[in-house]
Structure 1
């Protein structure tokens, strides 16, 4: 299956992938947890989160990538220059160097489309988008789960194996853990 991966620009498609599913006033992530400062992330609740995403899109800010299968949105990758994310100041996830790397921090596949390789295509698309934007490198911060099962709600960061399959290499250990697994910095040079 081949999907088309494009920079996220359509608010409704972003909402389909990361917005509330049942209650439009639901308090969900909107993939902002790493995209804004921790203080702002805590202050944004319910519909304010969707309004923040809308404002970022209107400003032309990179917030992610959307994957489409025959026009239907089926995948998401949180993607932006590291400098515009909380990874710029995160104490648990170290900087490898001073390059203006981009970060990919969340990969989601729409229910009903899982197990089709879409996560791999979303990561490949994120790499292409970062490269086309002139990024010298792209990083991810997945769990190093050594093949063990990762709980579904925590799998959004990806696994080391997913990133290795896309050509990324481990660049550093972190002091961050998710679902009991250590997270690692995975890096792909785009120069």
Structure 2
């Protein structure tokens, strides 16, 4: 089984993706390859952030890897929080603070359309490939559910009446932005010699 590093310290993301790649690749964490530093995310696009993280791992550890960056893009807020989703309410990166600020900023808006977008950059043997996953939906007026992480308790995907935080990991992975981007990545990897 081939080894591949997922350039993240987020244990929730690692668990989600490990489930999807089970049996295909031995997924390594940053810790597994001895990378203990915080990877920079200071680009102004999701694609730039995912590329920055994957390139850092490849250049410093010479391990084929992939990195992702995800943003919640809310129509009424001109695409915010977008690339700043994790630190929307400040550098403490608190999911609770981020959700409270989002709901506060949306309080006066009827339009609650939003989408999650994930950009994944794979560097496989030094060659870069990018994949994207998008899921459309809307922001609720109150928190619902206790599964998942990030904005999951206030995001209802199109065609559903439950938030991501009310779904099992399997249900969410089947339709989520990250799931869609990772499936493109997996399909690409399976096609490799």
| Both structures adopt the same fold (TM-score exceeding 0.5) | no
Give the TM-score, by structure 1 length: 0.31
Q: Between Structure 1 and Structure 2, whose CA radius of gyration is higher?
A: 2
| Between structures 1 and 2, the one with greater helix share | 2
TM-score with structure 2 length normalisation?
A: 0.31
